[in-house]
């Protein structure tokens, strides 16, 4: 099977805007860290998850990839669940 190497348009501006967005979220995270009025895990975990999704979706281009590759990536998260559960059980025994 032959694959064409993509010759896309220059997306530099789009990527710079995405990076600015990621930078702003990081600044918000640090600002929240110094604020005592918030429940940090409740706010920081979703913000971190947004950054994660943006990098995976736009920089790694997973949103435009085939379903098979998306499943592969998801597989890593599914496979890590039993390991984390084992750790949790080990800790409760200790």
Site residues (CB under 8 A) for another protein?
A: 1-12, 15-16, 18-19, 22-23, 26, 29-30, 33-34, 40-41, 44-45, 47-48, 51-52, 55-56, 59-60, 66, 68-69, 72-73, 75-77, 79-80, 83-84, 87-88, 91
Q: Is 78 exposed, middle or buried (0-12, 13-18, 19+ CB in 10 A)?
A: exposed
State the sign of the Cα–Cα–Cα–Cα dihedral 82, 83, 89, 92.
negative
- Output 60 or 63, the one with its CB closest to another protein: 60
**Shortest Cβ 61–another protein spacing (Å):** 9
Residue 75 in 3-state DSSP? helix
């Amino acid at each position: 099977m032959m694959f064409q190497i993509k010759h896309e348009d220059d997306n530099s501006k789009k990527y710079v805007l995405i990076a600015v967005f990621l930078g702003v979220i990081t600044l918000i995270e640090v600002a929240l860290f110094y604020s005592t009025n918030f429940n940090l895990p409740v706010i920081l975990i979703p913000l971190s998850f947004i950054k994660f999704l943006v990098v995976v979706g736009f920089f790694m281009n997973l949103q435009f990839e085939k379903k098979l590759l998306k499943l592969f990536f998801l597989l890593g998260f599914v496979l890590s669940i039993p390991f984390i559960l084992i750790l949790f059980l080990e800790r409760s025994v200790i």
